[in-house]
Chains A and B, each alone.
Chain A
């Protein structure tokens, strides 16, 4: 295969992987920080996509301008959900393992609730709109304008998220919480404020991902679930709680799928993803991009 064709293939994998990474980052933040395995994460992505589609088709507002709106709406919704559901679970669960199990059940409930709410509001029809579909040339390879934008923004948000965690006091607090919740509280980190804020941030990121996805794909109330599953694979690849790992894991999975599909068959995509997933679980259960000292 020529070098140009390789570049095209890897480019298409990176674009898909960028979206995987963005979805996984929000979910990983919630799990790494609060041990909430938010199975409904993909559903909030879907809400972000619907909001963007609705506003774009109704008033013609550019989907790009909907990114901050989707982030804010979902962010506030996230804080409200944390306040209504998970705050109470924290106070009533005797230990973290039980909280995790209960949180998972609540997230399942949220998944059905949100999906049905969207079906009720907007119906089950497929939706979509035309936005920047003309190809642009990147190093000689044609890429749809919207895909390029999606990739650039997904990467921007992911790196922004990493910078927030690494370079700010807030991020330091969050990382401290990820390492030890009790220790963080002992040194004065306010978990009561930080938890809902970070849950909101996670959901805000899923809203952004949904907004970006609506630019390139058709949307439907059932679109969220596959992204949740992919995000779980990505998080396992990168390591639970590792933000950099989620970014690299997402990009890696996108490229593995694209190259695998080229050499085998798209029908084997799921097999490829799960083969990678199982191999990582067997050989490096703490994740590909985490230090061995961290617990899996």
Chain B
């Protein structure tokens, strides 16, 4: 349909009037028009989903929700809404890498948040450096990532050495003489197992059995039975959530009842208590570093998470994830969206977070010491070291219930 000159003229006038009135409301309107674009990939399908949807993505969503409810992310005094640009990586490293290349290379988002797990973070860490985007990874455990000395990559979780040193310290203090270990045969399991063996050296604690297993294993009972025959004081599993529960259930089944039963990822998940029942979980130890008693901030975060995401956060990586978001929030408030300036702020400051002070040496968080958690009366308590403990350690787990 053709339009007459009058019509075109009238439209130009209206456009001009709208533009002029928009300018007169700036900067308020300008801020609303330009959200901060924050990109990430997350496992919503595939084998990593169980961990990713407990420890990581709910925290990203809660963070964006809280910041936007407060008017937006404070960027050097200017509030800008957060726009999360996210996609499912299908638990596939290749997809993770390609998506981050797109987010940082062609989409040029303002900030990125990390993917889930050691393997995915290992794959994207060099990219973070190449594109100059700070990554604060809450679910990556790898000595090799630290050794790569990537200036833009930061690991929030305590690394294998500090976690295993804390565990072995706790063993020594409680008279453990023998231990059996199983570990998943990927980067996470292998590095923890190696750090555990180093920590055991010179302690006199005898490693009576050590066996690896593949991810997704359906039956660990043959290994657990041979461990039971050796009757160790402690059992240690560097395990992922499904295997943590499998090892616990099958230990109960065959009557493997060591004084100390320690498993890794998933022990601190609320799922563990739900599946094993609170009585069944009682006394089980694992990787955990905080709970609602750790700090008032931690309590507020716990309550907000429960209210917003309708589920409890886990007592290990979720805390680190939220701490990372606290650091990022403080960084942009201080230095804006200049990524190099954010990186320098993260690297050179001591950060007050819900899990305590965090400071980085290279890529590693050296502010948070290695810790040990334990289920006690339906709560996953921090029990080691004493300075971090939220409850007293029970070094004699009773038989499985």
Q: When the two chains form their complex, are residues B52 and A124 in contact, meaning their CB atoms are under 8 A apart?
A: yes
Asked if A12 is at the interface of the complex by the 8 Å CB criterion, the answer is yes
Q: Mark A221-250, 1 if CB is under 8 A from B, else 0.
A: 110001000000000000000000000000
Q: Which residues of A contact B49 (CB under 8 A)?
A: 119, 124-125, 220-222
Asked if A217 is at the interface of the complex by the 8 Å CB criterion, the answer is yes
Q: When the two chains form their complex, are residues A266 and B213 in contact, meaning their CB atoms are under 8 A apart?
A: yes
Asked if A197 is at the interface of the complex by the 8 Å CB criterion, the answer is no
Q: A257-B219, A258-B219 are in contact. Are A119 and B214 (CB under 8 A)?
A: no
Q: A125-B54, A133-B249, A267-B214 are in contact. Are A12 and B221 (CB under 8 A)?
A: yes
A241 to B274, CA, bound (A): 41
Q: When the two chains form their complex, are residues A129 and B274 in contact, meaning their CB atoms are under 8 A apart?
A: yes
Q: When the two chains form their complex, are residues A266 and B275 in contact, meaning their CB atoms are under 8 A apart?
A: no
Q: Which residues of B contact A261 (CB under 8 A)?
A: 219, 222-223
Q: Which residues of B contact A135 (CB under 8 A)?
A: 252-255
Question: Closest CB of chain A to B124's CB: distance in Å?
Answer: 20
Asked if B50 is at the interface of the complex by the 8 Å CB criterion, the answer is yes
Q: Which residues of B contact A133 (CB under 8 A)?
A: 249, 252-253, 280
Q: A218-B245, A222-B49 are in contact. Are A266 and B214 (CB under 8 A)?
A: yes
Q: When the two chains form their complex, are residues B43 and A142 in contact, meaning their CB atoms are under 8 A apart?
A: no
A232 to B110, CA, bound (A): 47
Q: When the two chains form their complex, are residues A218 and B213 in contact, meaning their CB atoms are under 8 A apart?
A: no
Nearest-neighbor residue (CB-CB) of A57 within chain B: B274
Asked if B118 is at the interface of the complex by the 8 Å CB criterion, the answer is no
Asked if B308 is at the interface of the complex by the 8 Å CB criterion, the answer is no
Q: When the two chains form their complex, are residues B219 and A16 in contact, meaning their CB atoms are under 8 A apart?
A: yes
Q: Mark B165-184, 1 if CB is under 8 A from A, else 0.
A: 00000000000000000100
Q: When the two chains form their complex, are residues A116 and B45 in contact, meaning their CB atoms are under 8 A apart?
A: yes
Q: Which residues of A contact B212 (CB under 8 A)?
A: 265-267
Question: Closest CB of chain B to A17's CB: distance in Å?
Answer: 10
Which one, B47, B213, B219, contacts A220 given CB within 8 A?
B47
Q: When the two chains form their complex, are residues B53 and A124 in contact, meaning their CB atoms are under 8 A apart?
A: yes
Nearest-neighbor residue (CB-CB) of A129 within chain B: B275
A12, A115, A135 — which one has the most chain B CB atoms within 10 A of its CB?
A12
Q: Mark B152-194, 1 if CB is under 8 A from A, else 0.
A: 0000000000000000000000000000001001000000000
Asked if B98 is at the interface of the complex by the 8 Å CB criterion, the answer is no
A226 to B11, CA, bound (A): 62
Question: Closest CB of chain A to B159's CB: distance in Å?
Answer: 24
Asked if B217 is at the interface of the complex by the 8 Å CB criterion, the answer is yes
* Chain B, 215-255, CB within 8 A of any chain A CB: 216-223, 225-226, 229, 241-242, 245-246, 249-250, 252-255
Q: When the two chains form their complex, are residues A270 and B214 in contact, meaning their CB atoms are under 8 A apart?
A: yes
Q: When the two chains form their complex, are residues B253 and A222 in contact, meaning their CB atoms are under 8 A apart?
A: no
Nearest-neighbor residue (CB-CB) of A9 within chain B: B222
Asked if A128 is at the interface of the complex by the 8 Å CB criterion, the answer is yes
Asked if A123 is at the interface of the complex by the 8 Å CB criterion, the answer is yes
What total of chain B residues lie within 8 Å of the partner, measured CB to CB? 47
Q: When the two chains form their complex, are residues A130 and B214 in contact, meaning their CB atoms are under 8 A apart?
A: no
Q: When the two chains form their complex, are residues A142 and B246 in contact, meaning their CB atoms are under 8 A apart?
A: no
* Chain B, 64-115, CB within 8 A of any chain A CB: 91
Q: When the two chains form their complex, are residues A218 and B223 in contact, meaning their CB atoms are under 8 A apart?
A: no
Question: Closest CB of chain B to A149's CB: distance in Å?
Answer: 13
Q: A119-B45, A124-B44, A258-B222 are in contact. Are A143 and B253 (CB under 8 A)?
A: yes
Nearest-neighbor residue (CB-CB) of B401 within chain A: A134
Question: Closest CB of chain B to A5's CB: distance in Å?
Answer: 7
A186 to B91, CA, bound (A): 50
Q: When the two chains form their complex, are residues B211 and A265 in contact, meaning their CB atoms are under 8 A apart?
A: yes
Asked if B377 is at the interface of the complex by the 8 Å CB criterion, the answer is no
A127 to B46, CA, bound (A): 14
A5, A143, A147, A218 — which one has the most chain B CB atoms within 10 A of its CB?
A218
Question: Closest CB of chain B to A271's CB: distance in Å?
Answer: 10
A129 to B43, CA, bound (A): 23
Q: A119-B44, A135-B255 are in contact. Are A218 and B219 (CB under 8 A)?
A: no
Q: Which residues of A contact B214 (CB under 8 A)?
A: 266-267, 269-270
Q: Which residues of A contact B182 (CB under 8 A)?
A: 266
Q: Which residues of A contact B242 (CB under 8 A)?
A: 126, 217-218, 220
* Chain A, 1-60, CB within 8 A of any chain B CB: 5, 8-9, 12, 16
Asked if B277 is at the interface of the complex by the 8 Å CB criterion, the answer is yes
Question: Closest CB of chain A to B227's CB: distance in Å?
Answer: 12
Question: Closest CB of chain B to A74's CB: distance in Å?
Answer: 21
Asked if A262 is at the interface of the complex by the 8 Å CB criterion, the answer is yes
Question: Closest CB of chain B to A223's CB: distance in Å?
Answer: 8
Asked if B271 is at the interface of the complex by the 8 Å CB criterion, the answer is yes
* Chain A, 105-158, CB within 8 A of any chain B CB: 115-116, 119, 123-130, 133-135, 142-144, 147
Q: When the two chains form their complex, are residues B241 and A218 in contact, meaning their CB atoms are under 8 A apart?
A: yes
Question: Closest CB of chain B to A177's CB: distance in Å?
Answer: 33
Q: Which residues of A contact B213 (CB under 8 A)?
A: 265-267, 269
Question: Closest CB of chain B to A174's CB: distance in Å?
Answer: 31
A199 to B265, CA, bound (A): 40
Q: Which residues of B contact A5 (CB under 8 A)?
A: 225, 229
A265 to B183, CA, bound (A): 11
Asked if B276 is at the interface of the complex by the 8 Å CB criterion, the answer is yes
Q: Which residues of A contact B311 (CB under 8 A)?
A: 125
A222 to B50, CA, bound (A): 10
Q: Mark B22-64, 1 if CB is under 8 A from A, else 0.
A: 0000000000000000000001111101101110000000000
A261 to B277, CA, bound (A): 29
Q: Which residues of A contact B53 (CB under 8 A)?
A: 123-125
Q: What are 19 A-B pairs at a CB distance below 8 A?
A: A5-B225, A12-B219, A12-B222, A16-B218, A126-B54, A126-B241, A126-B271, A130-B275, A133-B249, A133-B253, A218-B245, A221-B49, A258-B221, A261-B219, A266-B213, A266-B214, A266-B217, A267-B185, A269-B217
| 3 closest Cβ pairs, A-B complex | A124-B49, A266-B213, A126-B50
Excluding A124-B45, A126-B271, A130-B275, 15 further A-B contacts by CB distance (< 8 Å) are: A5-B229, A8-B254, A16-B219, A119-B49, A124-B50, A125-B53, A125-B271, A128-B271, A130-B274, A133-B280, A144-B250, A220-B47, A226-B218, A261-B223, A269-B213
